[in-house]
Structure 1
């Protein structure tokens, strides 16, 4: 589905091939941002949250979601932003927190379904939908990870994983953790530790207190693992612990994490 496109760096004139990442839609279909062939890549000199995301329509179900904007790092040190079809050029006048102020990192569909989307399908004749029995688990598509190369990649991987578990409207947490990066959604607070420092007992206890305050499930994701006393305390407090591998797949560390995967949101 993803197509390679040639990209020339405007700084050093070096040309290389870019392969756009594939993201999982909530319907299970792969989603790839449609790149504008022949359009020059722009060097990233200023970042805002608004500019870092792009709205992409799923060709299978018509849903529009926001995904990380395609970027490519050149060997000369320049970070290049790849133009996307139908997406306006990033506005450098936006405030860094302009799209976080409202709370939503992924606000869901940006536009109503189009004529070839689910709304149109509902008007077409076809067999009646047979719902699953109340006791049957809801099928969940396979998780599609994002490779981790930077701290931002780690946050993106965790946000995608929380969505895969069933949580929606992932956003930056209102209460900033003492270390790492906090994410939140309805019914869950998560902490991402993208550094090479293992999470400590204090980190786990602080997250648990935040979850108690918010009356939400708390989940910890660490790139470098956990201290032994942190794992013991997490088991006592029933805090799910995950370790992020470089492929972007969270690996459960304790029983609460296994139970969260099985139950979902």
Structure 2
């Protein structure tokens, strides 16, 4: 059964109202993974193909396609896998490719952000680059200075670290990004697929580094005050 359900974060106890994203089937019918209201969400600590994708069958044409497993980024930085029901695991080979996700809701006066489904590290970088343009940054490029982990991007006024690894970003990751940003006299922003450790979030809050979590639908979610402020004002702040 799809629709909306209450999801409580097991780490901080916050409750979120969650609706599974719908994806367009090849026949044009919106299809959403059915949510399981009787099961509890689980924290994403590592990623596997079997855990990150589910097979959902279209109720109109019967076509079965692979879609990202529903996930929720809690404001505490935890990435939660939302339970689904009657969803078969995808095969290791074959199957249809997911279509582009629906348009994200518009923020402030900007047009709606169009996410890109994330299946590889390259997809994560593509999503972040598109998101930075949506925020108003121009001339986005690979950063001159390498980060100890992940992939660095840069634009006028900002340096960015994309953390596509399976473990949460650490305080050292945040500190290295901040030092790079200080050297360039600009802001530091981090995007992570696996979230952040508690110490990393605390360090980012103290240094003013904006933290975002990437879910597999390709929609970045702000997880600290600096990130919320960036989304509200964009690159022109």
Q: Give the alignment partner of residue 180 of structure 2, picking from 210, 218, 227.
A: 210
Which of these residues, 101, 115, 120, is aligned with residue 150 of structure 1? 120
Structure whose CA Rg is larger? 1
Please state how far the C-alpha of 1:138 moved relative to its aligned partner. Answer: 8.0
Once residues 138 and 245 of structure 1 are traced to their aligned partners in structure 2, the CA distance between those partners, rounded to angstroms, is: 21
Q: How far apart are the structure 2 equivalents of 1:243 and 1:147?
A: 14
Q: Distance in 1 between matches of 2:215 and 2:130?
A: 14
What residue is the counterpart of 2:79 in the other structure? Answer: none
After superposition, the CA RMSD in angstroms is: 2.8
Task: Choose the corresponding residue for 2:110, options 133, 140, 149.
Answer: 140
1:260 matched to 2:236: no
Structure 2 unaligned runs (5+)? Answer: 1-23, 27-92, 95-106
Instruction: Give the whole-Å Cα distance in 2 for the aligned partners of 1:231 and 1:190.
Output: 16
SS of alignment partner, residue 264 of structure 1: helix
Change (3 A) 1:148 1:235: same
Aligned counterparts of 2:191 and 2:109: Cα–Cα separation in 1? 24
Q: 1:140 to 1:201 in 2, by over 3 A?
A: same
Shift of 1:188: 0.6
2:208 aligned with 1:238: yes
Residue equivalent to 2:151 = 181
Cα distance in 2 for residues equivalent to 1:140 and 1:242: 19
2:226 is paired with a residue whose SS is helix
- TM-superposed deviation, 1:170: 0.8
CA distance in 1, matches of 2:109, 2:163: 30
SS at match of 2:137: coil
Tell me how far apart the structure 1 counterparts of residues 151 and 167 of structure 2 sit (CA, whole Å).
Answer: 14
Displacement of 1:197 after TM fit?
1.2
Shift of 1:139: 2.6
Q: Structure 1 stretches (4+) deviating beyond 3 angstroms?
A: none
2: CA distance between counterparts of 1:239 and 1:152?
23
Higher relative contact order (CA 8 A, sep 6+): 2
Inter-partner Cα distance in structure 2 for 1:170 and 1:196: 25
Q: Which runs of 5+ in 1 are unaligned?
A: 5-74, 77-136
Aligned pairs for 1:7-26 (under 5 A) are: none
Matched pairs, number: 140
2:108, 2:232 within 8 Å by CA — same for their partners in 1? no
**Residue in structure 1 matched with residue 70 of structure 2 by the alignment:** none
Q: Distance in 1 between matches of 2:201 and 2:109?
A: 30
**2:174–2:200 Cα contact (<8 Å) kept:** yes
